Amino acid sequence: MQINATTTVIASKNQVSCDLAGEAAILNLEDSVYYGLDPVGARIWSLIQNPVTVAALRDAIVADYDVDAERCERDLLELFEQLAGAKLITVEHPRSA
């Protein structure tokens, strides 16, 4: 399954995280591996503590930062593929009618 703009993401329950001077440190409780996110990544991390679509995240980040919407979405999709691979997020695709 590929992540796209209509995909809903949320931080996994199998992790703990904290703010470190504007950056985020995340511990995956399944494999005890730490991950770090820069300030923009930390902002995204804070926004996915509740279920949200990639499109809504893109819009929020474009409003907060000087970034083109297309570039922002590409970067979000890449980040979420990495976070999903590390089992740090849960991904839910919309159901077809």
> In total, how many domains does the chain have?
1
State the Cα–Cα distance between residues 4 and 10, nearest whole angstrom.
14
Domain presence at residue 48: yes
Report how far apart, in Å, the C-alpha atoms of 36 and of each of 18, 30, 49, 70 are. Answer: 10, 16, 16, 25
Write the secondary structure of 12-45 as one string of H (helix), E (strand) and C (coil).
CCCEEEEEECCEEEEEECCCCEEEEECHHHHHHH
Per-residue pLDDT, 93: 87
Domain presence at residue 25: no
**Are 39 and 22 within 8 A, CB to CB?**
yes
Domain presence at residue 52: yes
pTM, two decimal places: 0.91
Which 3 state secondary structure label does DSSP give 94?
coil
Domain presence at residue 1: no
Domain presence at residue 85: yes
Domain presence at residue 30: no
Domain interval for residue 67: 8-13+40-90
Domain presence at residue 49: yes
Domain presence at residue 29: no
Using one digit for the tens of pLDDT, what is the confidence trace for 37-89?
999 999 999 999 999 999 999 999 999 999 999 999 999 999 999 999 999 99
State the Cα–Cα distance between residues 2 and 5, nearest whole angstrom.
10
